[in-house]
Amino acid sequence: MKDERLDLEVLVAAARDVAKKAYAPYSRFRVGAAVVTEQAAVYTGCNVENAAYGSTVCAEVSAITSAISAGEAHLEAIAVAALDGVDVFPCGNCRQVMREFGVDKLIVDGTDGPTVYTLDDVFPHSFGPEDLGGD
């Protein structure tokens, strides 16, 4: 992320914007996420709930899978925003997906504005592909 300030503003704005499109008829908790690649491409996603709760897709996974589906392989940062302005952190599953695809920087848009964390801050001692051993 070359211009950190600009990228932070752009990512948070994209996350807020896509949160408006969330499908959350059960929780009414609409979340958006925006991920940026090392080439500065931005991909977004929102949470999509389901009556079978286990089939719900989180905003973070939605944004990451959108980037991967477009052929991106090197993800740098993700911004997460909820429409009601509360601090919203990724769930454990989303943190694991972030880890898998190398997202190291997490921007949480909350009550005091955006705050930047590293993945190690929010997911210490994580398990990744290199932990599987083998060749």
Catalytic one of 4, 9, 49, 60: 60
Burial 75-89 (b: 16+ CB within 10 A, else e): bbbbbbbbbeeeebe
CA–CA distance, 4 with 103 (Å, rounded to integer) = 15
CA–CA distance, 121 with 52 (Å, rounded to integer) = 32
Catalytic: 9? no
Backbone angles phi, psi at 121, to 5 degrees: -60, -40
- Catalytic residue numbers read 60
